[in-house]
Structure 1
């Protein structure tokens, strides 16, 4: 059964256009600073996806021993995973050190390696992970950057390994193009280069996201389910 991103597409697109007009003069924020300023309210806000977090563990294979978590934040996606697989080793990468400290305190005693850095720049290694996951992190980046990252993920996975992405996916090409153009306009208005990470959503459609994954060598990539606006995609090496 095809994954439905938005049941109410027309209403959703009108609300999005209205919101963009209201936010037209709001400047972009640098990514790490955005999350650092909101550390006290982050977990409460992310409860929007409570059902999605609970579902993640069901897509983690029972033979998973080593897992890489990209944009791990405070580790909300790890709660259900550690509940089901308490001895799994997790490497987490995030730009925001404040969030990583919160994650470290939350999961004392677990087998976790945390890296405060840019997952586009940090080395992942080759054929060393059974699973790579990322939740609500990759929709801030252009296709060229995603392709670069997806290629690193594919190389980091063992043969037969899987990448599970849960993310904001555009419901249609109109949404994809509208947000990308607005982000470009805001960057120009603020004198911000394309190389600087900013907190603004530029999601791809499900078709374009899966095409990117296949283009770097994944044998298969397909949508699994959309839960409260978070669309899960599985790519298999």
Structure 2
């Protein structure tokens, strides 16, 4: 069941990859990235991970803002990774890999910060993703979770869209899942409309 779910997601995003940077959602995401940077606090130099990196736009922006930054982008879609590699103007500081957020191919405490932008809503096993984020974060590191949210804490709404079903989480639900994974919620910030940034920290 899970493998079929991931395969379907992968096929959809593979088909979007070549034109993704010209689609309206990409323009929307770039506006979100710009606002996200106002809240980013990184060590210098920093080693970061971008989960669901798509065509690599966020990592490119971060690499420009932080000249000593090293970053890894991970995406389920091989075609998205291919596009990210083609447009990578910060090689070898940035690398892009194909992989699953539920089973990260990295060692414990490898990253100073992890980013996840408009991808968390796609995950079938969000608790497992958070466990993996916590595992690969260095103690004291931050997890920047950016996604659509809602205010009702009773039940997470599920919607069906072109890329399959997606699920939204309230700020309180994010905090509960983060705590279960060993992450502390630092704060919430609305970036654009219902798009919420939640910053988590891994305790030292």
TM-score by length of structure 2 reads 0.83
What is the alpha-carbon distance in structure 2 between the residues aligned to residue 121 and residue 215 of structure 1?
Answer: 17
Conservation of the 8 A alpha-carbon contact between 1:56 and 1:77: no
Q: Secondary structure at the match of 1:152?
A: helix
Partner of 2:108: 126
State the aligned residue count.
191
Partner of 2:164: 199
Partner of 2:81: 100
Conservation of the 8 A alpha-carbon contact between 2:42 and 2:113: no
Q: Which has the higher contact order (CA 8 A, sep 6+)?
A: 1
Deviation at 1:166, TM superposition (A): 0.7
Any gaps of 5 or more consecutive residues in structure 1?
1-28, 187-197
Q: 2:138 aligns with which of 158, 179, 183?
A: 158
Matching of residue 223 in structure 1 with residue 188 in structure 2: yes
Deviation at 1:61, TM superposition (A): 2.2
Matching of residue 38 in structure 1 with residue 16 in structure 2: yes
Q: 1:146 aligns with which of 126, 140, 157?
A: 126
Matching of residue 70 in structure 1 with residue 48 in structure 2: no
Conservation of the 8 A alpha-carbon contact between 1:124 and 1:153: no
State the Cα deviation string for residues 67-90 of structure 1 (Å, max 9, x = none). 011000001222331221133111
RMSD: 2.3
Partner of 1:58: 38
What is the alpha-carbon distance in structure 1 between the residues aligned to residue 19 and residue 149 of structure 2?
Answer: 24
What is the alpha-carbon distance in structure 1 between the residues aligned to residue 196 and residue 13 of structure 2?
Answer: 22
Q: Secondary structure at the match of 1:176?
A: coil
Change (3 A) 1:213 1:174: closer
Q: Secondary structure at the match of 1:38?
A: helix
Change (3 A) 1:47 1:174: farther
Structure 1's consecutive aligned runs of 4 or more residues displaced over 6 angstroms after TM superposition are: none
Partner of 1:3: none
Q: 1:212 aligns with which of 155, 158, 177?
A: 177
Deviation at 1:232, TM superposition (A): 0.6
Conservation of the 8 A alpha-carbon contact between 2:18 and 2:83: no
Q: 1:135 aligns with which of 111, 117, 126?
A: 117
Change (3 A) 1:72 1:55: same
Any gaps of 5 or more consecutive residues in structure 2?
1-6
Give the structure with the larger helix fraction: 1
